[in-house]
Amino acid sequence: MTRAISLHDVSKSYAKGVRVVDRLSLDIEPGEFLVLLGPSGCGKSTVLRMIAGLEEIDEGELRLDGEWANDLPPSGRDMAMVFQNFALYPSMTSRDNIGFPLRIETPGEDPRPRVDATARMLGIEDLLDRLPAQLSGGERQRVAMGRAIARHPSAFLMDEPLSNLDAKLRNHLRAEITKLTRELGVTTVYVTHDQAEAMSLGDRVAVLRGGVLQQVGTPREVYALPRNVFVAAFIGTPRINLLRGLVRAPLDGAMTISLGKQYLRLPEPLSLDHQLLRVQQGREVIVGLRSEAVRIAKPASARPGEVLITGLVEHVEFQGHEVLVHFNTGSRPAVVPELESPRPLRRVRRRRREGGTVLERIRERAGALRAGPVVVLEDPADAEPEPSAEMVPPEGRLPGDLIVRTTPDIDLRQGMQVPLLVDIGHLFVFDQHGERICPAPARLPDLEE
């Protein structure tokens, strides 16, 4: 048996009234594998614990198979949780750890047949008589998963179960989790900050930032059509190139996006998405380019929809199967502030101190829904920090302003001037608030919203 899980306008607050989850609505279908993805402190583990019943829901409602379940105790939800730190009893063997919840749920029933069946499924039959101290990290996590599987729950809740393992073992167990959940067909909610795990495991990915749901979709959707700058920057390796641009749309000439010392000329006839950029005339925007949207090639080999810029090689990263080249194109990068700590604490302190009018409270609410500014267009070097603000240094900036993925057979050295062809068909444009405007959203907001 598996079940549907629905969250409707769910909120959770801790000390000083700071909301760690803000009006989150999410529907999880029976048998679906949904990944909650976001940086540390974004509220994803809190959401998982509210589903499990380990945290109370302050506002909103949780429904299991359509039935209201806010006050249902954890034991009545028929869910099994896999924790980050394994949570095995050190004095029990693997067999006893797996069978312990079965003995609690059905005291008069022999748990050994189900324990043995689970061990065969996970390939840990030879580990059943060992204590946790005698197991490696990967073996402990298999035992912890076995304890959850043996219960035959209606849903699995996994809280970063692979984060304490080395990279090779993570990849191996990731494949095992995918295979097991598909075979069992049980609804699974998986929490992680690793976007590689999210993209490879989930049927759908829900991206959170500062307790606010940013986007829900298939891995392909959130990568190819990120709703805002934060989603675009958080998903994808290497991180998307974000450059500050200025739209120029003269009535008697070609539309261009100035990138500082160079510009992108939009090919004519303009596509519908590019025609909509005319309303941004004279405004600063954020241009997003994935590393695969730019290639190193001579101008003569340009394909339809490709435009030429040049870049100065500043750094070359050899990855074995590919090379990441860092170019200086004379552009100014757009900064996604506090990506690893997205909720701006100084705003909460200022609101509490000032009180405010009705108009100010409306603005506060609008800011809360965005969980703070998604992108900063001012140069951080020119801005003076607020004395009361808790300053988080920007993420380590690598050399250059444009990263391009290429093949390892290309010989590039620092200081070389290289022609670059940009595929305009893979161009993202975001407004000053970080919302995607190109490609245009499938649904434009109504004036009443």
205: left (phi over 0), alpha (psi -120 to 50) or beta: beta
pLDDT of residue 347: 37
- Domain coordinates in residue numbering, the chain: 5-232, 241-336+398-438
What kind and span of H or E run contains 313?
strand 306-318
Superfamily of domain 241-336+398-438: Nucleic acid-binding proteins (2.40.50.140)
pLDDT of residue 358: 55
Q: How many CB atoms lie within 10 A of CB 380?
A: 12
pLDDT in tens, 425-445: 999 999 988 999 999 877 555
Contact 80, 149 (CB under 8 A): yes
Tokens for 224, please give them.
């190819």
How many angstroms separate the first and last alpha carbons of the chain?
39
Superfamily of domain 5-232: P-loop containing nucleotide triphosphate hydrolases (3.40.50.300)
Nearest CA to 94 out of 142, 29, 47 is that of: 142
Please identify every stretch of the chain with a pLDDT value under 50, giving residue numbers as ranges: 340-355, 362-371, 378-396, 447, 449
Supply the DSSP symbol for 425.
G
pLDDT of residue 133: 92
pLDDT of residue 386: 35
Q: b or e along 40-59 (b: 16 or more beta carbons within 10 Å of the residue's beta carbon)?
A: ebbbbbbbbbbbbbebebee
